Amino acid sequence: MSFRTIIEPFRIHSVQSLRMPSREEREAALVAAGFNLFGLNADQVIIDLLTDSGTGAMSSRQWAGMLDADESYAGSRSFFRFRDVIAELTGFKEVIPTHQGRAAERILFGQMVKPGDVVLNNTHFDTTRANIEYNRAEARDLVIAEGRVPSSTHPFKGDMDIAALEASIQKEGAARIPLVMMTVTNNSGGGQPVSMTNLKAVSETCRRYKIPFFLDACRFAENAYFIKMREPGYAERTPRSIAQEMFALSDGCTMSAKKDGLANIGGFLAMNDPVLARRCRNILILTEGFPTYGGLAGYDLEAIARGLEEVLDEDYLRYRIRSTAYLADKIAAAGVPIVQPPGGHAVYIDAAAMLPHIPPARYPAQALAVELYRTGGVRGVEIGTVMFGRKQAEGPDLPAAMELVRLAIPRRTYTQSHIDYVAEVVIDVATRREAIPGYEIVEQQPYLRHFTARFMPLL
């Protein structure tokens, strides 16, 4: 098509109204939630960009499939559709449904990871890291240097540093590395894609040392589209064939279907090794459910099977990647520092650059996220020292590599005017940046503290 405007490749079939809480209501909600945006009631939020996970709109095709689902406990027809769609897409022989991505992680690491082991990844997502550390192993991030520099415009900032991978294997010994993972796209590193060239290099290194290689495949379709757009030799390929090539380089994957499964719940673990799969299924039965439903209803399996087909539609992916870049371009043009180039599912504001008067141990990204909510009812999430810093016995927290506020865009949910409103709120907050205070944590838990910590502003 010769027109510049990339339109939503769908029309709206049913709608949900938004509540518009007043400024006073938002102030009171912040105090009650201990300035933790996870503690807000969703009705207190106007535009919810907390996560793109499970928050998307399903298609009429998915809803229709749900009505026709098979709820049999064992051997449900919906499971076989789910299994066949995943096997065809990924090439993996063993497909294990789970209630979401972290259940796949818990089961996989429970079987593969021992105390003292080291798992290597471009950047571990928080639940991935926590599930490895829970097994008393180390989760080591080896993303390329450019991936840690918000202003770098490297096209594949999710790539792994291959020299660092080789050095870690040499130093620790292959026997202590039960698996290597690659997160596509790299959520915690800014939603940045991984190139096929890099996936090939990681795969080749793992094969050489006989270390299993798994993908954290939550956003495999968005990653495939970035490869199509940015990597020489892929422009004419379909997103499906690119995704298939990515999966073929690995031995298995964990997947949260709440992202590129276009579903509101669900996930899976898939692999080629039948012995490992049998062990994983035994644990699945203990904690998730029988292997043909794994904690999901038949209608969830059906929604995921259809979602995995729809997500590879090229019109959808073009719109998806462009609509995220639209928000990024708008706020960047107004001088707001963001991670460049914008990722697939979210825009990441560089709070360290925007609020240089707030040190990492006073949580600049938390401060900015609170201010976006207070000003316009927009809920984003801190990805910085609250989420990834380390509490020390004494003194300030060890800081995270970056201080980001993630504005994650739910799939097929908000229109362009919603996004225009978000841009206006961000730009308004930026004009008052010097007056934003830092925060201290007054209550926290040892694991995944960002979900429940309570804060106080340092006025």
Q: Which two tokens stand for residue 7?
A: 């339109």
**Number of residues this chain uses to bind ligand PLP (CB under 6 A):** 14
| 103/331 with CB nearer ligand PLP | 103
Region 125-184 residues binding ligand PLP, contact defined as CB under 6 A: 125, 127-128, 183
Q: Which two tokens stand for residue 148?
A: 């840690």
Rounded to 10 deg, the angle between the 220-230 and 314-333 helix axes is: 80
* Closest approach of ligand PLP to the CB of residue 3, in Å: 33
* Closest approach of ligand PLP to the CB of residue 222, in Å: 11
Largest alpha-carbon pair distance within the chain?
61
The C-alpha atoms of residue 432 and residue 51 are separated, in whole angstroms, by 26
**Per-residue DSSP letters for 328-388?**
HHHHHHTT--B-SS--SSEEEEEHHHH-TTS-GGG-HHHHHHHHHHHHH-EE-EEESHHHH
Tell me which residue has its CB nearest to ligand PLP: 101
Pick the closest to residue 339 from 328, 348, 326, 352 (CA basis).
348
Binding mask 53-82 for ligand PLP (x = CB under 6 A): x-----------------------------
Sheet hosting strand 404-408, strand order edge to edge: 346-350, 404-408, 381-383
Region 246-265 residues binding ligand PLP, contact defined as CB under 6 A: 256, 258
| 216/310 with CB nearer ligand PLP | 216
The C-alpha atoms of residue 262 and residue 410 are separated, in whole angstroms, by 10
**Per-residue DSSP letters for 436-457?**
---EEEEE--SSSGGGT-EEEE
| 306/345 with CB nearer ligand PLP | 345
Examine residue 187 and tell whether it contacts ligand PLP (CB under 6 A): yes
Examine residue 123 and tell whether it contacts ligand PLP (CB under 6 A): no
Examine residue 122 and tell whether it contacts ligand PLP (CB under 6 A): no
Region 263-302 residues binding ligand PLP, contact defined as CB under 6 A: 267
| 21/343 with CB nearer ligand PLP | 343
* Closest approach of ligand PLP to the CB of residue 442, in Å: 26
Q: In the chain, count H helices and then E strands.
A: 16, 14
Q: Which of 56, 97, 101, 337 binds ligand PLP (CB under 6 A)?
A: 101
| 100/438 with CB nearer ligand PLP | 100
Region 344-403 residues binding ligand PLP, contact defined as CB under 6 A: none
Distances from the Cα of 9 to the Cαs of 5, 145, 319, in angstroms?
Answer: 12, 36, 7
Binding site for ligand PLP (CB under 6 A): 53, 100-102, 125, 127-128, 183, 187, 216, 218, 256, 258, 267
